[in-house]
Chain A
Amino acid sequence: MFVVCQLTAFHLVVAVAHLPSHRVTCHHAADIGKPCHLRRLIPRGRITNTYAYGYVSRLLSRRRGTTAEPRVADNTVGTAHGGGTMSAQDVDSDADADAETDGGGQMPKPHTVRLELVDEPGQLLAALQPIAENGGNLLSIFHERGNLTPRGHIPVEVDLECPPDRFEGIVEALREAGVNVIRAGAEHFGEEVTLILVGDLVDSDLSDTLHRVEASADATVKDLSLSAPDGTQESSSARLRLAARAGKADEALTVVRDIAAEKDLHVIEPLTEDAA
């Protein structure tokens, strides 16, 4: 079950539905850049709190310059916590301010924080607010309801992105807000690679491509964005953000290259960050 926002490129979604990854953003090419069409799909287990989902969507759509409110389809899954404890407007203005300051200074880096939440409504939102307020962009939330810590709390893993010099501030703000932070640190996958795959992604089974990348490259697909043209001859593209263990990014790229060659896809590889 997924949260799907009126996807017209439905076949593309089906192709990636089994992705064991964190967040999937799906665009329909004809709609890119237009408000109100940020399409999103969240695989099961990632976010089970619909309020949190709305919140994250807002942050993400802000970040991507989309002004539209993400529309959540009726088949929204997950156990919704009662009570919207926070108004979306508050969230937006915070996110806005942060988005603007993101540009300057250091490049954002991925970080993971592991939190323990009391199983009460509104807890997750309360935990996310200090992150947004202190310049963090939420990437994904893994909220394992039903899996309790020895102390009877719910473990939540939050992947976020922020300039390195802001990370301490975020952790501090979380603690000040009374959130129990059990582990905080740079992304356990030390290196990130962003690349674009071009070609007939659906016919070449994107889902299989991603599975194989994850299986053979010792890498995780952190983020996937699809852009599928509508009624034109143009090829589809998928932007992948891979997290690889430190020093293994090149290996991950080689794996992608090989799989792409086999499936007649093109890879637009990144130029190493320090070179650009």
Chain B
Amino acid sequence: MTLRLAVLGAGAVGGSVLDLAGEYGHEVVAFADSSSSVTDHAGLDPAVVHDRKEREGVVGDDAPEALFDADYDVLVEATPTTLGDAEPGFSHVERALADDKHVVLANKGPVAERYAELRALEAESEGRVQFEATVGGAIPVLSTISDLGAEHVTAARGVLNGTANFILSRMAAEGLDYEHVLAEAQDLGVAEADPTFDVDGIDAALKFVILANVLSDGDAEYRLDDADVEGIRNVPGTALDLAAEDGRTVRLIGEATADGVRVAPRLVPQGAALAVTGTQNIVQLETEHAGQLNVSGRGAGGPETATAVLSDVSRLE
């Protein structure tokens, strides 16, 4: 069944959803950025929309809110992740659910900061909320948990920030210091101009908070404030040298366990599954009856994340 998408956010993720929706058998009927929106019930032509965004900085002539007036089935929320009240993302989701529409989130804010509220709104709506893309980009983490049954998964740990992992693995491999590798990562586009979210562990923590919410299955609610978070700025080259000398390395590891959420640089054996290199991500699920299960792959990127968004859309058919 072809689902009609309203995509909010015209950045790396939203733009890729617009490009790839057709390949997944769906169509984008409305598209918005921070200042404009465009609606076409016959389906938007990605090339035309991208072209206008590039030339004029807008996607259409309407106000962004006009997107909600379109005749759509699924709202794709791909505006920037915000902390605390998770706005404006949360209100976008609220509005779509009030209209009995489905919601697919790439934005981590609402599921990391207001999970219980979001679930309550979903319960009142005909619409459902999916958010595979918020945890590990293209990696099917949440759908794996859903297949296993959250009650059979006792813990999740792993590496869910490609930028921090890139920096640590480059520092270890090349013997370079943090500032040097960070600058290199920024040149390569692996790190943002303001890398705070990534190197301070906040981005990874949000993902493990989301995992903790999913795993607790309504028994407890987690927010970023509940997580014990330490980033990688305090990991000097000397520590990586000493780790390497002992057959180990340091990775920014997140954990969602019965004890709560924790993100910190940790020592892991060099050959260990969790010692992924570069921007690779991995999640290790501890299961009740089936031992450990590892899923790894690309945790970020526009097309990668759009793939997860569109898989979620297909689950709503």
A residues with a Cβ closer than 8 A to B are 27, 29, 32-33, 64, 194-196, 198, 225, 227-229, 232, 234-239, 266, 268-271, 273, 275-276
Contact = CB atoms under 8 A, between A and B. Distances in A.
A251 B236 CA distance: 26
Nearest to A274: B292
A273 B268 CA distance: 8
Nearest 8 CB-CB pairs, A to B? A276-B272, A227-B238, A237-B238, A239-B242, A237-B239, A270-B267, A271-B266, A276-B268
Contacts of B301: none
Interface of B: 157, 175, 177, 230, 234-239, 241-243, 245-246, 248, 250, 253, 264-269, 272-275, 284, 286
21 contacts: A32-B245, A33-B241, A194-B267, A196-B239, A196-B243, A196-B250, A198-B234, A227-B238, A227-B239, A234-B236, A237-B236, A237-B238, A238-B242, A239-B242, A239-B246, A266-B230, A269-B266, A269-B267, A270-B248, A271-B267, A276-B272
Nearest to A193: B267
Contact of B238 (A29, A270, A271): A29
Per DSSP, chain A at the interface is strand
B234 A235 contact: yes
A276 B158 CA distance: 9
A161 B246 CA distance: 13
Nearest to B267: A270
B164 to A, nearest CB: 14
Contacts of B267: 194-196, 268-271
A232 B269 CA distance: 28
Contacts of A195: 267
A196 B245 contact: no
Contacts of B250: 196, 268
A275 B239 contact: no
B234 A266 contact: yes
A270 B245 CA distance: 15
B248 A29 contact: no
